[in-house]
A and B are shown apart, each in its own frame.
Chain A
């Protein structure tokens, strides 16, 4: 009855991989007005740093406390996946 996890499996797997490789948590969110609603992703361990909000497309975005620490090619991979959700 919750969010359809299978729809966002690709992002979930990617977020899991990023967390394993870099220790960085990424959350996919659906942007609804001022609400950025959690869809899928991984938690930062104990960071509590201010969240960076990256609006990827009209409907979806990324939240991560350590986005800027990610290598550019990883950012590209993530953005490509998220943009595809918006096109659906």
Chain B
């Protein structure tokens, strides 16, 4: 597909070289491919004692060094891996308690000027049906998500194109926040809008900040400089590795203090990519007073229309290695949220959740307009890729409850100053997990009353009872008597139809 003059002109205006250079150390960025390989090589065959020491450091919620992370990645002993998996789950519980946060993606536009070899949105994919939602259509999608399914948190997704520029993104965020829908016992509303969109300039990021964005999420896709250049063809915006690499620096400078990073696993060696994510997290911590990534995502490459690299890659990640990389991420950056999406099958999700996952999506549809148009078949011409777990939110929540987890719809943190370096300190000290526990109980109660099937409501109430009992058991060590009594009062108020009460 040939680019129009308007598209070309717009593309030329996107990258601001000065907004890359200002963060760089001379000619070098913070990803040194050779250094990563050398760390992976020099930490081969780590002994058991060293691994146990590293696990203790993770349990103290300290970010690991590259050498320590490389040592974990080089473990071969299956028993030691079992120990790593166990401790990863323990670290998650310590930081985030027993809750899993759910969200849904909302794809607003699939126009794209880029041509990434693994992506269904690539501009040369002529089979893709292109569409951009109007603001009215965005509201219609939101009504279904917030009023029928019961989501409180979205990740909105856009291709990179002048039709879906920063102004459009900001307008869609405002449109989503404006929707309030009556439900069985209260009302439904999206309370946190996170954004997955292309890297932007500081001025454009300020536009997003000013409409109350939740988290700004950009995946580097691969940290390998060489492979990055290959799969993001020359002449596209995305070809510029460093414009993408430093977008979180710009976001933080623009005042968006919750940022999220990720890798598309399967493009390159998974151990290298985990190291890349670690280097990225450490760079942000170093530059921004301890603020690291709010979340890390690790999608695996999935079939997509007209995406040649999906068949070509030598680096597809096996299920076993996938479990390992998730556990190592949990241990290497212990404070961060880990997002597992419906790209994966239900079976894989069941296996991964105990390894430190904090967030997952459900009732997921990734076709443009798919929620309000109510079509359930996956259509590769309308989607970026094919999803592996199309189960409803109700089904996913029921299964999580059967596994012993409470689903949380909490969006309190960013609405009461638990952001930036403050949230980082609260996470590292384990205090945020105590807020998580209380808010999970309250928001889960809301959802059960407003949206749950009878079957899910039944098991959900058992989980709530167990969680309230656990809070009670933690008085006075972790919670005061006053806090426990406040929890019970808030809980009753929510049962009586009040909404959006939080700690």
Q: Which B residues lie within 8 Å of A29 (CB)?
A: 416-417
B252-292 contacts to A, CB under 8 A, are 252-253, 255, 257, 287-289, 291
Do residues A32 and B421 form an inter-chain contact, with CB atoms below 8 A?
Answer: no
B257 → chain A, closest Cβ, in Å? Answer: 6
Q: A33-B177, A38-B257, A38-B422 known; A51 and B503 CB under 8 Å?
A: yes
Distance between Cα atoms of A86 and B54 in the complex (Å): 46
Categorize the interface residue count of chain A. 20 to 34
Do residues A34 and B421 form an inter-chain contact, with CB atoms below 8 A?
Answer: no
Contact with A along B203-215 (1 / 0, CB 8 A): 0000001111110
Do residues B503 and A38 form an inter-chain contact, with CB atoms below 8 A?
Answer: no
B9 within 8 Å of A by Cβ?
Answer: no
Contact with A along B244-256 (1 / 0, CB 8 A): 0000010011010
A46 within 8 Å of B by Cβ?
Answer: yes
A7 → chain B, closest Cβ, in Å? Answer: 13
Do residues B288 and A63 form an inter-chain contact, with CB atoms below 8 A?
Answer: no
Do residues A1 and B421 form an inter-chain contact, with CB atoms below 8 A?
Answer: no
B371-423 contacts to A, CB under 8 A, are 412, 414-423
Do residues B287 and A36 form an inter-chain contact, with CB atoms below 8 A?
Answer: no
Do residues B502 and A32 form an inter-chain contact, with CB atoms below 8 A?
Answer: no
Distance between Cα atoms of A33 and B431 in the complex (Å): 26
A15 → chain B, closest Cβ, in Å? Answer: 12
Do residues B212 and A33 form an inter-chain contact, with CB atoms below 8 A?
Answer: yes
Do residues B434 and A1 form an inter-chain contact, with CB atoms below 8 A?
Answer: no
Do residues B414 and A35 form an inter-chain contact, with CB atoms below 8 A?
Answer: yes
Distance between Cα atoms of A76 and B307 in the complex (Å): 62
B315 within 8 Å of A by Cβ?
Answer: no
Q: Which B residues lie within 8 Å of A43 (CB)?
A: 422, 425-426, 431
Distance between Cα atoms of A47 and B483 in the complex (Å): 7
Q: A36-B414, A38-B257 known; A48 and B212 CB under 8 Å?
A: no
Kindly identify which residue among B253, B478, B501 contacts A1, using a CB–CB cutoff of 8 Å: B253
Residue of B nearest to A27 (CB): B417
Contact with B along A50-83 (1 / 0, CB 8 A): 1101000000000100000000000000000000
Q: Which B residues lie within 8 Å of A41 (CB)?
A: 417, 422
Distance between Cα atoms of A2 and B252 in the complex (Å): 8
Of all A-B residue pairs in the complex, the 10 with the closest CB atoms, nearest first, are A33-B212, A2-B289, A38-B422, A29-B417, A51-B416, A63-B417, A34-B212, A38-B417, A35-B212, A27-B417
Q: A2-B288, A2-B289, A32-B210 are in contact. List 10 more A-B contacts (CB 8 A).
A: A27-B417, A34-B212, A34-B415, A35-B213, A36-B417, A41-B422, A46-B480, A48-B479, A51-B503, A63-B416
Residues on B facing A (Cβ under 8 Å): 177, 191-192, 209-214, 249, 252-253, 255, 257, 287-289, 291, 412, 414-423, 425-426, 431, 434-435, 438, 478-480, 482-483, 486, 490, 501-503
